[in-house]
Structure formats: C-alpha cells, structure tokens
C-alpha cells in the first residue's frame, strides 16, 4: 500500500511541476494572443478605413477610370476597399447603375479577382467569396455558383445558395430548382426558400414545371415559395393547383390568389374556404378579406363561425374592416354563435374600434325599428365583452378553448 502511495505521490509531484510550467506558458501565450490580436486588428482596420476613405473621396474618378486601376489594384488592401465599396453600392443600385458598376468590376479585373478567390480559397474564405461573387450580380457568376452547389460540403452549398440569391437572376433560380427537384440539394428550408423567392419573384412561372414533378417535402418547399411570389400572371395554372392533394400547396394557392383579380380568384377561394384543413381555410379567408369586397362578406361570416379559433379570428379580422361594421355585427348576431361574436369583439378591441362602434350604436338608439336593432346589437356587444372579460378572469376554463 505504501509503495502505491509513494508511486502516486512521486507521479503527482512531477506532474504538478510540469502543470505549473504548462499553466504559466498558457497564460503567457493567451495574453500575447490578446495583445497581438488587438494590435494587428487595429492596424489592419485603420489602414482599411484609410483606403476606404480615399476610395470614397475619389469614387467618381475611380469609376470613370481617371485614376488608373493599376494605381490601386496591386495593393491588396486598396483593392479590397474598392471591391467592398462597389458591392455596397451594387446592393442599392438600380439597373443602369448596376450595369455601370459591373462594367467597372470587369474592366478593372476585380470580377476576375473574386472569381479566382471562389476557386482557390478554402473553407470559410471560399464561402465568403461565393457570397461576394453573387453580390456582383454578374450573369457569368451563376455558372460558378451553380458548380459550388454540387460541392459535398453543406456550408459551401449554403454559401452558393446565398450567392445565387444575391444575383436575383432567373438563371440562378433555375440552377437551384434543378438540383432541389433532383434531390441533390438538401439544405435547411429557410435559406433555400429565401433564395428561390428572390430569384423567381420576377418570373414565378419558372416554378411550375418543377412543382409538377416535385414530391414530398420538396413539393411543400416549392409551394411555400410560390405562395410568396405568385402573381396573376400564373393564371389558370394557379386554379389547377387549388385542387392539389397536398394541403400546403392548396394553402399557398389560397395565399397567392390574394394577388389576383377578385373575379378570377373568388370561385377558387370560395372552394378553399370549405377545405378540410384549417390552415387552408385560414389562408383563403385572409385572401378574401384582402379584397375588401361586399360579395365576400357572406363567406367571411361562415368563416367567423368556423370550428377553429384561428380561422374565426382571421375571418373576424377581415370582417372588422368591412365598410358597414354595424351591418356585419347584425349578421354575426343572426348566426347566434357566441364564439363568432367573441371573435368580433376581440378583433374590434385589437384594432381599437370597439369603443367607436359602441359609441356609434349608442348614439343611434331610439324608438324606430332600425334603432331597436342597434340597441340589441349594443346589448349583445356589451354582454359579449363582459363574458370575454369573465373568461379572462377564469383562465383555466375558457369556452373558446373547449371548442377549438
């Protein structure tokens, strides 16, 4: 036993001495790292700021070529400052300015410099270069970025998707769509959807052939994209998709129909408000409400009596904006649905119109038949509001929760 203790003690003693040396060296290295990093970064950013300041001051001359490119192109820092400035301007440029900037990037060899970086750089530097290439909005960048989509590393693929999104070109959208449908690109939905939205916004028809052949989650993804970009230009194709077996697609169509003309969208939306899936009904009612047409009111009234509280609330939201709120309230009362009335009161409350409506009703109460009608609406509203407050006071048993 003693020999074991002795051995442990000897090992511990020699370890502790080495550990002290290790800790001291670690502290020294860490402090040097902190100080050196501070110093170097400060120097680098000071110089970059100087270069940026010079470039901003002489931007017009640089762009016009009055200051020759070889004066700044050979110094990496100066070229970096000018690339950054060009791309920042490109982000907010209109078509003609973007063309000038792209011409400048080509003429001065900066575009080539970025292209080379996308091929030579590795890891995060390549990812940054790919996004930067996309920001140039150069049509020839699409091929390079599309090649990067085939990279085995998901981070590179993601950077390529971001780069393609920055171009905003239809060709970039097609490059992504081909790979998505073929199952070669499986990235997190949001980045891919954002990129597809940007690239297909100008021409949503681009999505249709891919949507026809897509299956499963890819089809859902494309449906979500089409919901964001769909326009009246899609025409009858949109109506065909309204009877798609996938509820996501139907919901997207319902959403997209909000951009169409009322006469065109109304029959399809009337069909979708009776859909089996609550979120399809919700989307359809939202779109119907956006038209602000009186023809939609009877359908919205059916929506406010829906079994799902989200759907009821959305229908109430649309009805609250109807041109004749008192008339709508009368119709809601006629449904004899307490939940519908509660949804209306909650919505009027949310928009701040509740007091206004009550005031309007109070001022018009009197002896005539019409005014008796107003009085009954007022009573119902006040009773309903009280009931809602009561529900709030007893949160464990809300009536709406039982139903939803």
- In three-state secondary structure terms, 321 is coil
From 70-78, 262-270, 289-297, 344-352, give the range in contact with another protein by CB under 8 A: 344-352
Near another protein by CB under 8 A: residue from 141, 158, 256, 319 = 158
Near another protein by CB under 8 A: residue from 251, 343, 374, 378 = 343
Question: For residue 139, which of 108, 111, 181 has the smallest C-alpha distance?
Answer: 111
In the bound state with another protein, the residue whose beta carbon lies nearer, of 62 and 144, is 144
From 60-68, 74-82, 99-107, 347-355, give the range in contact with another protein by CB under 8 A: 347-355
87 binds another protein (CB under 8 A): no
**Interactions with another protein, residue window 222-251 (CB under 8 A):** 224, 228
Minimum gap (Å) between residue 27 Cβ and another protein:
5
CA distance 227 to 204: 10
Near another protein by CB under 8 A: residue from 350, 362, 371, 379 = 350
Site string for another protein, 298-317 (x = CB under 8 A): -----------x---x----
Which CA distances in Å does 25 have to 14, 155, 369? 17, 36, 94
- DSSP code string of 10-75: HHHHHHHHHHHHHHHHHHHHHHHHHHHHHHHHHHHHHHHHHHHHHHHHTHHHHHHTSS-THHHHTS
367 binds another protein (CB under 8 A): no
285 binds another protein (CB under 8 A): no
CA distance 161 to 147: 11
- Half-sphere exposure at residue 46, Cβ-oriented, CA atoms within 13 angstroms: 6
- DSSP code string of 196-250: HHHHHSS-GGGGHHHHHH--HHHHHHHHHHHHHH--GGGTHHHHHHTT-SSHHHH
Contact 132, 111 (CB under 8 A): no
- In three-state secondary structure terms, 404 is coil
CA distance 102 to 170: 18
Question: For residue 285, which of 261, 244, 251 has the smallest C-alpha distance?
Answer: 251
Burial of 226 (0-12, 13-18, 19+ CB in 10 A): buried
Minimum gap (Å) between residue 136 Cβ and another protein:
14
Near another protein by CB under 8 A: residue from 216, 245, 276, 352 = 352
**Interactions with another protein, residue window 8-37 (CB under 8 A):** 8-9, 12-13, 15-17, 19-20, 23-24, 26-27, 30-31, 33-34, 37
Minimum gap (Å) between residue 400 Cβ and another protein:
6
From 7-15, 68-76, 77-85, 299-307, give the range in contact with another protein by CB under 8 A: 7-15
Residue 86 tokens, joined: 């060009």
40 binds another protein (CB under 8 A): no
Using CB under 8 A, list all residues that contact another protein.
Answer: 1, 5, 8-9, 12-13, 15-17, 19-20, 23-24, 26-27, 30-31, 33-34, 37-38, 123-125, 127-128, 130-131, 155, 158-159, 162, 165, 188-191, 193-194, 197, 224, 228, 309, 313, 342-343, 345-346, 349-350, 352, 385, 388-389, 391-396, 398, 400-401, 404
């Amino acid at each position: 036993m003693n020999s074991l203790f002795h051995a442990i003690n000897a090992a511990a003693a020699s370890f502790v001495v080495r550990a002290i040396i290790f800790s001291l060296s670690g502290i020294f290295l860490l402090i040097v790292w902190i100080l050196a990093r501070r110093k170097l970064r400060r120097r680098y950013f000071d110089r970059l700021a100087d270069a940026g300041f010079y470039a901003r001051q002489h931007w017009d001359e640089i762009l016009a070529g009055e200051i020759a490119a070889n004066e700044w192109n050979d110094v990496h820092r100066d070229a970096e400052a000018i690339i950054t400035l060009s791309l920042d301007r490109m982000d907010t440029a209109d078509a003609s300015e973007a063309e000038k900037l792209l011409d400048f990037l080509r003429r001065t060899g900066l575009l080539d410099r970025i292209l080379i970086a996308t091929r030579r750089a590795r890891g995060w530097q390549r990812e940054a270069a790919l996004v930067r290439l996309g920001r140039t909005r150069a049509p020839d960048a699409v091929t390079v970025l599309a090649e990067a989509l085939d990279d085995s590393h998901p981070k590179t693929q993601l950077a390529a998707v971001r780069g393609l999104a920055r171009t905003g070109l239809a060709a970039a959208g097609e490059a992504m769509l081909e790979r998505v449908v073929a199952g070669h690109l499986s990235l997190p939905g949001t980045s891919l959807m954002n990129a597809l939205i940007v690239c297909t916004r100008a021409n949503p028809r681009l999505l249709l052939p891919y949507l026809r052949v897509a299956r499963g989650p890819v089809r859902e993804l494309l449906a979500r994209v089409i919901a964001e970009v769909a326009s009246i230009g899609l025409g009858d194709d949109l109506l065909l998709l309204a009877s798609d077996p996938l509820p996501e697609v139907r919901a997207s169509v319902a959403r997209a129909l909000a951009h169409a003309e009322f006469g065109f969208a109304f029959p399809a939306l009337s069909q979708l408000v009776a859909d089996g899936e609550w979120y399809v009904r919700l989307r359809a009612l939202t779109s119907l409400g956006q038209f602000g047409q009186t023809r939609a009111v009877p359908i919205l009234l059916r929506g406010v009596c829906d079994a799902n509280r989200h759907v009821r609330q959305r229908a109430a939201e649309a009805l609250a904006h109807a041109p004749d709120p008192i008339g709508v309230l009368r119709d809601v009362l006629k449904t004899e649905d307490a939940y519908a009335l509660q949804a209306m009161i909650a919505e009027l409350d949310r928009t701040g119109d509740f007091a206004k409506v009550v005031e309007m009703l109070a001022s018009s109460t009197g002896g005539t038949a019409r005014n008796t009608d107003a009085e009954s609406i007022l009573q119902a509203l006040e009773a309903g509001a009280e009931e809602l407050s009561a529900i709030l006071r007893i949160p464990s048993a809300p009536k709406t929760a039982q139903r939803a």
